[in-house]
Amino acid sequence: MASATATGKLSREEYRRQKDLDAARKAGTAPAALDEEGKAINPHIPQYIAQAPWYLDTGAPSLSHQRIPEYDRSSDKLDNWYDRGAKAGPAAKKYRKGACENCGAVTHKKQDCLERPRKRGAKFTGKDIAPDEVIQEVASGYDAKRDRWNGYDPSEHKKVYDEYAAIEAARQKLREEEIDKQTTTDLAAVRKVAKAGKGEGGGGSGNKDDDFGSSEDEDEDQDKYAEAADAVGQKLDTKTRITVRNLRIREDTAKYLINLDPSSAYYDPKTRSMRDNPVKNVPPEEAIFAGDNFLRYSGEAPEVQKLQLFAWNAAARGNEVHMNANPTEGQLLHKQYEKKKDELKDATKVSILAKYGGEEYLEKAPKELLQGQTEEYVEFSRTGQVIKGKERAKVKSKYPEDVYINNHTAVWGSWYDPSSGEWGFACCHSTVHLSYCTGLAGIEAAQASSAKNLLAASSSAATSTIPTSSTPQQAEATISATSDERKKKAEELFSKRRLGEGDLNIDESKLAAALRDEKDKKRKARDDEDPWGNKRKKAGGTEKHQEVTEEELEAYRMNRRMTEDPMANYVDKEDY
């Protein structure tokens, strides 16, 4: 679009007409636009060149913003500067109203006065009034404003040069006098004095004969300066011995050598680009080179792409937005667009919630609580017991817990009596609920009573199994055999093999059959339930109980629901 349009937003019809006019000008069927000087504007000039910035836009087609502004170049001379310290004629005789209160000059105020502050200013004394300064208006051009030496008087440096030359001449004369006073003709002593004078003067006046130096000293200086010189292809700091290369490090592996598989990422030798990751099984964060696309979509690159897309969409709708012509305006408009979009989204959400309600359903628990994950490692056995790690804290009920009554140090139900099958207190082994604690005496009494009962039961069982006509040796053998059978029975009942934590010898075929039976039982149980989840009553007798095999117990464990496992209900989703 070569012609500049009027500022402001165009309507859809105006935008369409403008596009048709530009197309006709490019095709040559319509006359070209004219600038303020009557010159034709090339219709093929891009829009970001033909369109003037907002601070230079006049509302009419023009290319004046692309031309160098014309100004008087006669003011760019280096000698065109104000005269420093110039005074405007003789000083006044008396103080004038509005003049400087310190010196009496009318060209400046007291706060801008450069003279020494007087004890009593010229306003009050009326004496020693300073003459007025000459104020010159110097119209500096582009070059004169940026000249760092503009207004500098070279004659000021002559004083510094003369002072330095006088000091150097006096130092040279002093060195000659010291050499004349030397009584010996030792060349080393003469060189030492000359070198000392040379160090004091920082190199002397530059004359070899005056310095009394030798070619060896000059060689040392040349070596010193040669060491500080930069090497070719790199920047070397001799003080810190740090090398900063300005070329690519040749030791780096090239992109096409990371993976030599021909079916890996494609490498374009013309543009030296490899868009995909050459090593697929390595994460991009850990890879040496993750591909050009990974760098293209990292950092601030996505934000630039969003700005460009916004500019394209805005230009397609008739708005004058261009990222190359005016990137600052495009970025500001994009920020305003995002802000209004968020405000509109929040207003719509608030209005919907105010009309229909349901705000409480938008609040959800954190993702960590929903998924039940934790950093603590816990390992469970086949039976659900904790093998490694910390066991979960027990859930407390609404009833009071850890309440000790009647001087007890343990709660009711903390001890179980296997002989009588009753529960009691662990602190005194009492099975009476509201009894008073008796401590160790109660425990000893309970153990004695249980030992008597057990001894009586065992003796009665032994006497019942012993024949009346047997000898004492036979009776003792029968009692020992009975005790061995009882121990063997207890080991079978409470062994790890029965609990499922030992080494099990399971038949695979029997285990498969047990798994099928377990699934059939669950399916029949679901069929027997009514629509409300209650089990239907069956007509007939009770079920027969039989011994459970190891295969059936293992099938039950494999199919049962592990409610205490925190990862049992884990679902790998972002949100529920």
Q: What is the 3-state secondary structure (H, E, C) of 31-65?
A: CCCECCCCCECCCCCCHHHHCCCCCCCCCCCCCHH
Judged against a pLDDT cut of 70, whether residue 381 lies above it is answered with yes
Instruction: Look at 371 and 34; give whichever has higher pLDDT.
Output: 34
Percent of the chain beyond pLDDT 90?
19
Instruction: List beta partners, residue 268.
Output: 273
DSSP code, position 29: S
Q: Residue 328 belongs to what domain range?
A: 303-356
169 lies in a domain?
yes
40 lies in a domain?
yes
Instruction: Look at 543 and 450; give whichever has higher pLDDT.
Output: 450
Judged against a pLDDT cut of 90, whether residue 394 lies above it is answered with no
Which range has the top average pLDDT, 2-11, 286-295, 396-405?
A: 286-295
pLDDT at position 207: 47
User: For the chain, how big is the Rg over CA atoms in Å?
Assistant: 52
324 lies in a domain?
yes
Give me the mean pLDDT over the 306-312 stretch.
91
Could you tell me the CA-to-CA distances from 403 to 29, 407, 425, 436 in Å, in that order?
Answer: 101, 11, 12, 14
Give me the mean pLDDT over the 508-528 stretch.
83
Instruction: Look at 142 and 78; give whichever has higher pLDDT.
Output: 142
The domain total for the chain is 3
Q: Are strands 386-388 and 242-245 parallel, antiparallel or unpaired?
A: unpaired
Strand, coil or helix: 343: helix
Nearest alpha-carbon partner for 267 in 289, 283, 250, 245: 289
pLDDT at position 526: 73
Domain boundary among 356, 373, 399: 356
478 lies in a domain?
no
DSSP code, position 106: T
Which range has the top average pLDDT, 113-122, 417-426, 488-497, 537-546?
A: 113-122
Could you tell me the CA-to-CA distances from 538 to 219, 522, 527, 542, 544 in Å, in that order?
Answer: 118, 16, 12, 9, 14
Judged against a pLDDT cut of 80, whether residue 281 lies above it is answered with yes
Handedness of CA 191, 192, 193, 197 (dihedral sign): positive
CA angle 312–318–320, rounded 5-degree value: 70
Instruction: Look at 426 and 239; give whichever has higher pLDDT.
Output: 426
pLDDT at position 336: 93
Determine the Cα–Cα distance for residues 133 and 85; give it in Å rounded to an integer: 7
Judged against a pLDDT cut of 60, whether residue 81 lies above it is answered with yes
Domain boundary among 20, 36, 66: 66
Instruction: Look at 509 and 459; give whichever has higher pLDDT.
Output: 509
Which range has the top average pLDDT, 84-88, 349-353, 355-359?
A: 349-353
**Residue 234: other Cβ atoms inside 10 A:** 11
pLDDT at position 246: 47
Instruction: Look at 161 and 573; give whichever has higher pLDDT.
Output: 161
Give me the mean pLDDT over the 392-414 stretch.
81
**What are the φ and ψ backbone dihedral angles of 535, each rounded to 5 degrees?**
-80, 140
Give me the mean pLDDT over the 454-463 stretch.
58
Q: What is the pLDDT of residues 177-224, one digit of tens each?
A: 888 876 545 556 656 666 665 555 444 444 444 444 444 555 555 555
pLDDT at position 232: 47
Which range has the top average pLDDT, 119-128, 133-142, 236-245, 299-308?
A: 119-128
Handedness of CA 207, 212, 214, 217 (dihedral sign): negative
Residue 472 pLDDT grade (very low, low, confident, very high; cuts 50, 70, 90): low
Nearest alpha-carbon partner for 297 in 310, 284, 288: 284
pLDDT at position 74: 62
Nearest alpha-carbon partner for 28 in 61, 56, 2: 2
Residue 100 pLDDT grade (very low, low, confident, very high; cuts 50, 70, 90): very high
pLDDT at position 237: 53
345 lies in a domain?
yes
Judged against a pLDDT cut of 70, whether residue 114 lies above it is answered with yes
Judged against a pLDDT cut of 90, whether residue 348 lies above it is answered with yes
Instruction: Look at 490 and 303; give whichever has higher pLDDT.
Output: 303
Judged against a pLDDT cut of 90, whether residue 338 lies above it is answered with yes
pLDDT at position 206: 46
Judged against a pLDDT cut of 80, whether residue 251 lies above it is answered with no
Which range has the top average pLDDT, 166-180, 221-235, 455-469?
A: 166-180
207 lies in a domain?
yes
Determine the Cα–Cα distance for residues 342 and 332; give it in Å rounded to an integer: 16
pLDDT at position 233: 47
Residue 236 pLDDT grade (very low, low, confident, very high; cuts 50, 70, 90): low
Beta strands in 159-272 (DSSP E): 234-237, 242-245
Judged against a pLDDT cut of 50, whether residue 66 lies above it is answered with yes
Domain boundary among 228, 245, 262: 245
Determine the Cα–Cα distance for residues 368 and 374; give it in Å rounded to an integer: 8
Domain match, 238 and 170 both: yes
481 lies in a domain?
no
149 lies in a domain?
no
pLDDT at position 110: 93
Domain match, 161 and 236 both: yes
Contact 263, 279 (CB under 8 A): no
Determine the Cα–Cα distance for residues 187 and 194; give it in Å rounded to an integer: 11
